[in-house]
Copies of this chain bind each other. A is one copy, B any other.
Amino acid sequence: MSASIGFVGLGTMGLPMASNLARAGFAVKGFDLSASATEALVEAGGTSAASAAEAARDAGFVITMLPTAKHIEAALFNAGGIAETIAQDAIFINMSTILPEETDRIASALGERNIAMIDAPVGRSAIEAARGALLILASGAPEAMKRAQSVFDVMGNQTIDCGALGNGSRVKVINNFMGVSLNALTAEALTLAEASGLDIRLALEVMRGTIAGIGHMRVTYPNKVLKGDLIAGFPVDLAHKDLGLALQLAAQVNVPIYMGSAAAQTYSIVRASGRGRQDYTAVYPVLRELAGLPEEIPY
């Protein structure tokens, strides 16, 4: 197997990733619909391909970093696509963010042609892509993963083995769900602080020292609900009461807190289920139940 790499999709993320690979000594053949993107790779030491098929020819790894699954399927299976030339012993690595079911669909189309796939979306942003410091959420067959590790080590500074193919996409979607939603919730809290007459620096100072800023994943969840302890540190009834105060305050100062108002309704469900005196992390088993998951938390 050659150590050459075909790289399709040289945009905000793909260009710095491919450039780092070229600088690290890999023979990188790049393709992008935009000619200027391909040229920029050449300047970084790569070579330019006239099509995705051309980029994939004779490569040991073929990487895609494209907007959506639709673009990946086009780059793979349209005329002039990767599937026309990719070698039997090459590994196809998708690093774009797509749905698990789309990952499965692509993997199974490739599987029919006996081509191995790794699903390896990335965390962090273009800045870390440029610094070779991405978080790589890789999933696939262990053998393929082992072979790809030297490639990942150039693009990222942390690779998490997420297990069976598709889990990289799963964890990526969940992670971004949380980080992106949390951003909107943070904006609600700070806007409410300011509109209610508070100095937002004070609000930030206080919240950085409490669960509000520290989050639940490191302390409350592992210490309470995840180990099955729902004895109230802070009870659901008071959490519900406090959200009620926040809703009234927000209404007085006309701050839209859509996320907080939804959270308040969820606590109403938790109370209605008879868990008012349990710890407020009891919101988690209740939500699991609403989703039809089995009672036991798999932790």
Contact B171 A189 (CB under 8 A): no
A245 to chain B, nearest CB (A): 5
Flag whether A8 is at the interface (Cβ < 8 A): no
How many angstroms between the C-alpha atoms of A278 and B215 in the bound complex? Answer: 26
A172 to chain B, nearest CB (A): 8
Q: Specify the chain B residue showing the minimal Cβ separation from A284.
A: B187
Which range contains the number of A residues in contact with the other chain?
35 or more
How many angstroms between the C-alpha atoms of A262 and B263 in the bound complex? Answer: 11
**Interface stretch among A34-42, A80-88, A268-276?**
A268-276
How many angstroms between the C-alpha atoms of A187 and B270 in the bound complex? Answer: 12
Q: Specify the chain B residue showing the minimal Cβ separation from A98.
A: B245
Give which listed residue, B214, B233, B241, B243, contacts A125 with CB less than 8 A. Answer: B233
Give which listed residue, B98, B137, B190, contacts A284 with CB less than 8 A. Answer: B190
11 contacts between A and B (CB under 8 A): A124-B210, A170-B197, A177-B243, A179-B212, A180-B263, A181-B259, A187-B266, A191-B291, A254-B269, A254-B271, A269-B291
Given contacts A174-B193, A194-B293, 8 further A-B contacts (CB under 8 A): A99-B249, A100-B249, A174-B203, A176-B212, A184-B287, A244-B251, A251-B268, A274-B292
